[in-house]
Structure 1
Amino acid sequence: MRHTAESASPREFTARLGDRGLFPHLRPLVYLNHAGISAPSQPVRLAVIAYLDEYAKLGSAAYPRWHAQRLRLRDRLGRLVGATGADIGFVQSTTAGLTAIALCFPWRQGDRIVLFTGEFPANVTPWLRAAELFRLEPVFLPLDGFRTADGDGLARLEEELRRGVRLVATSAVQFQTGLRMPLAEMGALCRAHGAELCVDAVQACGAVPVDVGAAQIDYLACGSHKWLMSLEGAGFVYIRPERLAALRPSVAGWLSHENPVSFLLEGPDRLRYDRPIRQRADFVEGGNVNAGGFAALEASLDLIDQIGVAQIHAHANAFNDALEPALVERGFASLRSPDPARRSAMLSLLPPPGIDVILLRAALDDLGITCATPDGALRFSPHWPNAIDETEQVIYSVDEALRRLRG
């Protein structure tokens, strides 16, 4: 028997800041791990059910409708990041998108890549593999100089760019600290020194405004199970159109060609292997995609678009503004930037002296507070469904968790 809300269409739901009514199955008292995995809303669940029901009923005849849905979604994802649908390709995940870019980039032996110490491995491993395969030189820079506008992060980056750099790879938001990187300034430096900029946007899209044009971003990859509040296994890449011609289609598959399915639909003697690879971002779609995951993503985007990313960002920071001073008062050390322009939607802190962060997280989980512990930090990541007054429950639960751990 279906949940009573499942009789409605996903598009009939309304998202409201601070209202988790669209998450009737969510058990934790306060869910603050959207930077890890978001719980699917009722509209997302319904979208997947509708997809499965139609394929169960029609089989292959359901394909045209869901193919059209993905074309619509492509345009919406383009608008989300300040691009067009033609600039978007579907991939499995952030990792898959970054790996495709790393393998298709037109490297020359000895090219230098700038990476940052403290990045999530998804934005390091593909570049190190490319470095080994193509004999490149990876250069790691520290992140600490980016925490405030008067830090030396941009100056250090420019110093490396002057030495000759082919590509800079950064996250829009750093996963451990929530630091929002100055993408526009980084993009301007890259352009001035002849380098290209690739961005891992999985900790930004959906909760932090991203504009690939304003920031002069050349490549971007993003999964959908975090701040986009959809499911694992569905993501996208953006490729600046003027970069396409130089890319080597190393990850191309049968669906990467021009008119790849004509031999299935247009009669005999259409089977060919020499059709050109498309010079569009969707050449990365070498085979069938996670159609159910992309149905879910459009449903989650409906809710995000109703509110607006800028409004979500402001709401999450209002939540963190209420929580941060209370935790600092209790001995936590905040890793959040003091500069509002460098803040994402996360609040990360180091625990008080003598408190094991893993045991603390487990105690909070037992008390109904879901958060995360990336590399030793305690990370809270609120989104639009979190009410500001939930901070009171978090503070109460932190006090109780500390009491239990201190005996």
Structure 2
Amino acid sequence: MTSAEHFRKEFPIFQSKIQLSSCSQSAMHFSVKNAVNAYLESWEEKGMDWHNWMAACENARKLFARQINAAVDEIAIVSSVSHAASAISTSLQPADGRNRIVVTEFDFPTIGHVWRSAEPQFTVEFFEKNEQGINDCSDYEQHLPDDLLLFSTSHVNFYNGYKQDLQRISDMVHRKGGYVFIDAYQSFGQTPIDVKEMDVDFLAAGMQKYGFGIPGIAFLYAKKDIVEDLTPRITGWFGQANPFAFDIRGNDYAPATKRFDSGTFPMINGFAAEAALTLMHQLDMPTVERHLEKLSTVAAQEIEQAGLINRSPFAAQEKGSTTAVYAENASEVEKLMAAKGIIVSARNDVIRIAPHYYNTSEDIRTAVNELKKSVKKGSTTS
């Protein structure tokens, strides 16, 4: 596996800037840029290259499946995690007196919006977060209802980076007789994911954040033995067993999770995803995870020394890459930092410092030093 130092050299932005925004958008690798250009060149030179465009998307599907230890036919190509969650929410039916959907309050808001849109077919309730803005497994164990149909939560929290034990969560949910849906957008690409070992039922992730890719393409995993009983309500011609039969009257869904494919794939996004996933397969995820734990420790130390407020006060092993720093006017601070060549990501009242494998301890120190100056100019801590 390539070293972090060598890996960093493959991202052009580090010649002039420090990018610490992987919770929102990772830095661009030269191979991803080349892949996007390859699509544009094929379009320009050939007019249409359907076979190779499709092949790139299908290879991205295979690479994603391999990355999470799933079978290829357990993966659907979707446009976003919102799309993935909607595909499940509209196909799932109450069963055996179960119609209760429980959503953790620290999920990304799109998840709550999706399940609220499915009311009144389902009873939707929100699991309130505690004072630290999280919940732990003991909370779930005590309070998950007996009529649970599905429990939805995130692997790594988008706001403060808290990381959950998916295997333990799956065990608890399954003992209650429910399904578990995982939003892995903030974890995919920075920590190992094995859907078989973790025993999750549904998992969705996109490429834009720690996946080295761009928005507009995401992937949905669903267990094969579950999904065959689901009838898609969000579908399209690629969700058919043979889309090229061009049978407008037929409705023969593709086997397993591919039935949740919908319209024509976003080809340019597929090219970027194929390159990004190829890049990801060159990395060892446990090594990436350990590197980010080290950077989280550095961030916590630097934030404390700077007198800033750390909204991610967790042990490095209990969190993902993101460390959130309180800033009342976070959006303004983000702009001030960007003007200094330091790319971070604002969310609500925090600035998120979110390194990837290409970042260094010095990146963190520089960012926190400038953040201290920018917070004083842009907002008042409390």
In structure 1, the partner of 2:138 is 155
**2:199 is paired with a residue of what secondary structure?**
coil
Q: 1:321 aligns with which of 293, 297, 302?
A: 297
How far the C-alpha of 1:28 sits from its partner, in A, is 5.9
Are 1:117 and 2:90 matched, yes or no? no
Are 1:393 and 2:376 matched, yes or no? no
How far the C-alpha of 1:387 sits from its partner, in A, is 2.2
Summarize the alignment of residues 87-236 of structure 1 with structure 2, pairs less than 5 Å apart. 87-107=74-94, 111-132=99-120, 134=121, 136-144=122-130, 153-236=136-219
Q: 2:357 aligns with which of 384, 388, 391?
A: 384
Distance 1:49 1:358 in 2: 32
Alignment deviations for residues 101-133 of structure 1 (CA, whole Å, 9 cap, x no partner): 11111235871111111321122111111124x
Distance 2:226 2:379 in 1: 56
How far the C-alpha of 1:337 sits from its partner, in A, is 4.7
How far the C-alpha of 1:298 sits from its partner, in A, is 1.5
In structure 1, the partner of 2:318 is 342
Distance 2:377 2:128 in 1: 37
**2:197 is paired with a residue of what secondary structure?**
coil
Q: 8 Å contact 1:144–1:153 — kept in the other structure?
A: no
Alignment deviations for residues 184-237 of structure 1 (CA, whole Å, 9 cap, x no partner): 111001111110000111001001221211221111111111110101101110
Kindly tell me: are residues 165 and 403 of structure 1, through their superposed partners in 2, closer, same or farther at Cα, counting changes over 3 Å? closer
**TM-score normalised by length of structure 1:** 0.86
Alignment deviations for residues 331-355 of structure 1 (CA, whole Å, 9 cap, x no partner): 222232533442111111224xxx6
Q: 1:46 aligns with which of 31, 34, 40?
A: 34
Amino acid at match of 1:386: N
Q: 8 Å contact 2:146–2:176 — kept in the other structure?
A: no
Q: 8 Å contact 2:73–2:255 — kept in the other structure?
A: no
When Rg is computed on C-alpha atoms for both structures, the one with the higher figure is: 1
Kindly tell me: are residues 274 and 144 of structure 1, through their superposed partners in 2, closer, same or farther at Cα, counting changes over 3 Å? same
**1:315 is paired with a residue of what secondary structure?**
helix
Higher deviation after alignment, 284-293 or 325-334: 325-334
**2:148 is paired with a residue of what secondary structure?**
coil
Amino acid at match of 2:4: L
**What is the count of residue pairs matched by the alignment?**
378
Amino acid at match of 1:85: V
**2:161 is paired with a residue of what secondary structure?**
coil
Kindly tell me: are residues 146 and 48 of structure 1, through their superposed partners in 2, closer, same or farther at Cα, counting changes over 3 Å? same
Gaps of 5+ in 2: none
Kindly tell me: are residues 406 and 343 of structure 1, through their superposed partners in 2, closer, same or farther at Cα, counting changes over 3 Å? closer
Q: 8 Å contact 2:78–2:262 — kept in the other structure?
A: no
How far the C-alpha of 1:406 sits from its partner, in A, is 8.7
Distance 2:229 2:58 in 1: 25
Are 1:71 and 2:58 matched, yes or no? yes
Amino acid at match of 1:57: E
Identity %: 21
Coordinate RMSD, CA, aligned: 2.5
How far the C-alpha of 1:393 sits from its partner, in A, is 1.8
Q: 1:81 aligns with which of 68, 78, 83?
A: 68
Kindly tell me: are residues 243 and 146 of structure 1, through their superposed partners in 2, closer, same or farther at Cα, counting changes over 3 Å? farther
Are 1:274 and 2:250 matched, yes or no? yes
Amino acid at match of 1:248: T
Amino acid at match of 1:49: N
Q: 8 Å contact 1:44–1:230 — kept in the other structure?
A: yes
Kindly tell me: are residues 226 and 158 of structure 1, through their superposed partners in 2, closer, same or farther at Cα, counting changes over 3 Å? same
Distance 2:321 2:69 in 1: 20
Kindly tell me: are residues 100 and 365 of structure 1, through their superposed partners in 2, closer, same or farther at Cα, counting changes over 3 Å? same
Q: 8 Å contact 1:123–1:171 — kept in the other structure?
A: no
In structure 2, the partner of 1:268 is none
